[in-house]
């Protein structure tokens, strides 16, 4: 049984490697046969060299740190306000009915559209990027929290009522944990969206960060570094996604959502 599991893992890793290798091979083939201007489509080797350059001279880690700290600030703000507002609004049906139209109107607007106002109100620097991440992460968190709270099984509320559990204990001991699997799912979606908009935010309003790295490389006509930056953004986004997936899995096990063991 154990060796089967190990074999399965190996096969999975091989699949990932061969998929990536095939992708790079096609890319190289296009570069070799197409005779494109190197600045229009840099070869994989060139990009790899560019990546090495960025890692070696410390540019990457500086920009990555800046981006990550903006991301964490904006995302944390979105999570805290999204969950707390979501709990209140999910619990007060009447207030939510009143607020929902506005939320639904604002939700589909790309955070970038707010950029003119953000610059007017907050200037340039770290803040605009943080605000954009906040907007991107806020709506998925809010909406999943509201719907999580509204879907809490009424039997839990009856039990709490019967045992004399009053507010604020009702919120923290019953409603929040009961809604948490759904909230965690919203946090996962919010993370992906926020990461996408981090780069966009840094491309229009910052002098540092991974998004800026791309713009800066374009300005100096280094398309290999542009692609190197894109690849780094992809990798770090993937790592963040995996991390939150681990958290989600842990929560589901803890909540008994995914644990099928029954006697």
Partner 1 sequence: MYISIEKVSKAFTLKDKSTLTVLDKVDLYIKEGEFICLLGPSGCGKSTLLNLIAGFDTPSTGTIKIDGDTVTQPSIDRIVIFQNYGLLPWRNVIKNVELGLEAKKLKRKERRQIAEEYIQLVGLSDYKMHHPPQLSGGMQQRVALARALAVEPKILLMDEPFGALDAMTRMHMQDEIERIWQEKKKTIIFVTHDIEEAVFLADRIVIMTPSPGRVKTIIEVPLPRKRDRTSLDFLKIKDKVFAEFNLKPAETIEYYL
Q: Please give the residues from 181 up to 240 whose contact with partner 1 meets the rule CB under 8 A.
A: none
Options 78-86, 134-142, 156-164, 224-232: segment touching partner 1 (CB under 8 A): 156-164
Of residues 50 and 90, the one with the C-beta less far from partner 1: 90
In the complex, the smallest distance separating the C-beta of residue 190 from partner 1, rounded to whole angstroms, is 22
Task: Answer yes or no whether residue 159 interacts with partner 1 by CB under 8 A.
Answer: yes
Task: Answer yes or no whether residue 263 interacts with partner 1 by CB under 8 A.
Answer: yes
Number of residues that bind partner 1 (CB under 8 A): 24
Of residues 94 and 261, the one with the C-beta less far from partner 1: 261
In the complex, the smallest distance separating the C-beta of residue 228 from partner 1, rounded to whole angstroms, is 44
In the complex, the smallest distance separating the C-beta of residue 126 from partner 1, rounded to whole angstroms, is 37
Task: Answer yes or no whether residue 104 interacts with partner 1 by CB under 8 A.
Answer: no
Task: Answer yes or no whether residue 163 interacts with partner 1 by CB under 8 A.
Answer: yes
State how far the Cα of 140 lies from the Cα of 101, in Å rounded to an integer. 15
Options 13-21, 27-35, 176-184, 238-246: segment touching partner 1 (CB under 8 A): 176-184
Of residues 92 and 254, the one with the C-beta less far from partner 1: 254
Select from 135, 95, 101, 99 the least CA-distant residue to 115.
135
In the complex, the smallest distance separating the C-beta of residue 258 from partner 1, rounded to whole angstroms, is 9
**CB count in 10 Å sphere of residue 108:** 7
State how far the Cα of 226 lies from the Cα of 86, in Å rounded to an integer. 39
Task: Answer yes or no whether residue 168 interacts with partner 1 by CB under 8 A.
Answer: no
C-beta of residue 74 within 8 angstroms of C-beta of residue 137: yes
Select from 205, 199, 208 the least CA-distant residue to 230.
199
- Residue from 165, 171, 215, 230 binding partner 1 (CB under 8 A): 165
Q: Please give the residues from 233 up to 262 whose contact with partner 1 meets the rule CB under 8 A.
A: 254-257, 259, 261-262
Counting beta carbons within 10 angstroms of the beta carbon of residue 141, is it exposed (0 to 12), middle (13 to 18) or buried (19 or more)?
A: buried
Options 17-25, 50-58, 152-160, 218-226: segment touching partner 1 (CB under 8 A): 152-160
Task: Answer yes or no whether residue 174 interacts with partner 1 by CB under 8 A.
Answer: yes
Residues lying near partner 1 in the complex (CB under 8 A): 155-156, 158-159, 161-166, 169, 173-174, 177-178, 180, 254-257, 259, 261-263
């Amino acid at each position: 049984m154990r060796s089967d599991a190990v074999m399965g893992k190996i096969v999975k890793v091989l699949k990932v490697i061969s998929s990536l290798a095939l992708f790079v091979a096609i890319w190289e083939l296009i570069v070799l046969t197409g005779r494109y201007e190197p600045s229009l489509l840099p070869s994989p080797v060139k990009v790899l060299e560019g990546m090495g350059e960025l890692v070696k001279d410390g540019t990457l880690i500086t920009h990555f740190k800046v981006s990550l700290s903006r991301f964490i600030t904006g995302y944390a703000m979105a999570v805290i306000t999204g969950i707390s507002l979501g709990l209140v609004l999910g619990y007060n049906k009447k207030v939510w009915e009143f607020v929902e139209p506005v939320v639904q109107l604002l939700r589909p607007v790309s955070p970038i559209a707010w950029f003119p106002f953000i610059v007017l109100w907050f200037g340039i620097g770290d803040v605009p990027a943080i605000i954009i991440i906040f907007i991107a992460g806020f709506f998925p968190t809010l909406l999943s929290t509201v719907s999580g709270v509204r879907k809490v099984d009424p039997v839990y509320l009856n039990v709490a009522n019967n045992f004399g559990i009053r507010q604020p204990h009702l919120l923290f001991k019953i409603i929040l944990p009961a809604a948490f699997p759904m909230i965690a799912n919203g946090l996962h979606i919010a993370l992906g969206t926020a990461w996408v908009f981090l780069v966009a935010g840094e491309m229009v309003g910052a002098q540092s960060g991974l998004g800026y790295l791309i713009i800066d490389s374009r300005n100096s006509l280094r398309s290999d570094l542009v692609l190197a930056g894109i690849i780094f953004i992809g990798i770090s986004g993937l790592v963040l996604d995996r991390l939150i997936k681990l958290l989600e899995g842990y929560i589901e096990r803890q909540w008994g959502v995914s644990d099928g063991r029954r006697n």
